[in-house]
Amino acid sequence: MYSETDIAWFEIIKYYRSMNMPIQELKRFTEMQNEGVSKVTALRKFMEAHRVKVVEQLNDLNKVLSQVDHKIKVLKEFEASDNTKTLKKK
């Protein structure tokens, strides 16, 4: 049987995993607390570091989205033109 503390940790892990936070980062947060950093300060630093990674992921996804949008535009132009020509990479 799990204790209330165990269940609370499961809920915490579930919450942070919903933000795509790796388990290794969660472990680092606990290590920060063990290093004598206050819980609030450790959590703030932890979340700031995770935010940087999320912003990087968003930037990467925006680049991919831009490429997809460009390809859709090219394909629409191809459809509207004489589509008997060979489709070239643009």
Domain ranges of the chain: 4-80
pLDDT of the residue at 83 = 65
Instruction: Compute the average pLDDT of residues 39-61.
Output: 92
pTM of the prediction? 0.68
pLDDT of the residue at 18 = 92
CA distance 30 to 32: 5
pLDDT digits (tens, 9 = 90+) for 12-49: 889 989 998 888 888 887 777 777 778 888 889 889 99
Q: Which two tokens stand for residue 43?
A: 């959590």
Q: Which two tokens stand for residue 88?
A: 């070239």
pLDDT digits (tens, 9 = 90+) for 71-88: 999 999 988 887 656 666
